[in-house]
Amino acid sequence: MTTGKYVDSLQNKRVVITGGASGIGLATALRFAAEGSIVTILDFNQDRLVGVLEEHPEITYGLKVDVSNPEEVNDVFAAIDNKMGGVDVLIANAGISVRANFVDITPEQWRKVIGTNLDGIFYTAQAAAKRMLAQGKGVILMTASTNGVVGHPYYADYNASKAGVNLLARTMALELAPTIRVNTICPGYVLTPMQLAEYTPEMLDKVNQNIPLKRHAMPEEVAGLFAFLASDEAQYITGQQIPIDGGELA
Ligand code: NAI
């Protein structure tokens, strides 16, 4: 899978990635590091953070934060100011999903999923946007999902959170232009600890057969889309929700 450098405009950019200790976030952190960016990963899993920083010294900083907690988010952005002196690119990516029948979703589960996937993106995006407005430039990218465009069953809370992310981003793009570009990406099936990793080969095969390109994505492919959207190659793209789904939404 490609992790090489293809755009010079990410060199020395200060990049913050939430959910950066696993899956799509980790692949994205490694891609930006390969592009020469200064990368801070944020995650609430301390053990994973420590392991990732040990294994990948090219990731400059790793800080623990629960993105669903606004005070913790404020504190961690103050720490980022001290360490990096600002943020050029935010990848708001941390998310969770829980499979459940709509009628069985408890208020606690609803709050947890919306609190992480939607509130968490709001808190981090607002903290980053204030800094980017002050410095006169920035890019905010968010991980939504094909589930935020069409509703797949058994994920009502998740789907609602991701649809919210898509419209939050469009609104932000309009308000924050021309200083900050804001886009979401909408992955389909990506092989990560959250999704597909536990599937048997037979289950994976069934998923893949229903995708027009006949395979799921690898996290590095999603990382490549983030790198492109953050780069100057995408300087005329804002307010968009961009599927990376093998044709699932086609
Ligand atoms: P993952 O489970 O491998 O990674 C998610 C990371 O976010 C973990 O390291 C976790 O500790 C962290 N995290 C979760 N809640 C947090 C919180 N409250 N505060 C800070 N960190 C927190 O999952 P994956 O697959 O890499 O997912 C990343 C994003 O991509 C999520 O937003 C997910 O909804 C989205 N997505 C994933 C798809 C897939 O097929 N894997 C498809 C579409 C969207």
Q: CA-CA distance, 55 to 81, in Å (whole number)?
A: 25
Minimum-distance ligand 1 atom for the alpha carbon of 144: 44
Q: Tell me, using a 6 A CB cutoff, whether residue 248 lines ligand 1.
A: no
DSSP string, 150-211: S--TT-HHHHHHHHHHHHHHHHHHHHHTTTEEEEEEEE--B-BTTTBTT--HHHHHHHHHTS
- Is 61 one of the catalytic residues? no
Which of the following is catalytic: 6, 158, 199, 236? 158
- Nearest CA, atom 2, ligand 1: 194
Q: Where are the alpha helices (DSSP H) in 56-104?
A: 70-84
Look up the CATH superfamily of 14-244. NAD(P)-binding Rossmann-like Domain (3.40.50.720)
Minimum-distance ligand 1 atom for the alpha carbon of 219: 26
Q: What is the pLDDT of residues 169-222, one digit of tens each?
A: 999 999 999 999 999 999 999 999 988 888 999 999 999 999 999 999 999 999
Q: How many Cα neighbours within 13 Å face the side chain of 36?
A: 9
Q: What is the pLDDT of residues 106-160, one digit of tens each?
A: 999 999 999 999 999 999 999 999 999 999 999 999 999 999 999 899 999 999 9
Q: Tell me, using a 6 A CB cutoff, whether residue 21 lines ligand 1.
A: yes
CB 41 within 8 A of CB 25: yes
Count helices and strands (H / E) in the chain.
8, 7
Q: What is the pLDDT of residues 159-172, one digit of tens each?
A: 999 999 999 999 99
Specify the pTM: 0.97
- Nearest CA, atom 23, ligand 1: 194
Q: Tell me, using a 6 A CB cutoff, whether residue 161 lines ligand 1.
A: no
Structure tokens at 72: 């913790």
